[in-house]
Structure 1
Amino acid sequence: MDPQAVKSLIEAGMPEAQVEVRGEDHTHFEAIIVSPVFEGKRTLQRHQMVYKTLGEKMGREIHALSMQTLTPEEARPAS
Structure 2
Amino acid sequence: MTVSADHVKQKLTEHLEPAHLEVEDVSQGMCGTSFRVIVVSPHFEGKPLLQQHRLVNSYLEEELKTIHAFQLKTMTPEQWKNQKIQ
TM-based fold match above 0.5: yes
Matched length? 77
Q: State the secondary structure of the residue aligned to 1:37.
A: helix
- Percent sequence identity over matched residues? 36
Query: Of the two, which has the highest radius of gyration?
Result: 2
* Unmatched 5+ stretches in structure 1: none
* Unmatched 5+ stretches in structure 2: none
Which residue of 2 is the match for residue 13 of structure 1?
Answer: 15
Which residue of 2 is the match for residue 78 of structure 1?
Answer: 85
Shift in Å at residue 22 of structure 1? 0.2
Give the AA of the match of 2:62: E
TM-score by length of 1: 0.85
Which residue of 2 is the match for residue 41 of structure 1?
Answer: 47
Aligned structure 1 segments of 4 or more residues deviating by more than 4 angstroms: none
CA gap of 1:66–1:24, structure 2 versus 1, over 3 A, is: closer
Give the AA of the match of 1:27: T
Which residue of 2 is the match for residue 2 of structure 1?
Answer: 4
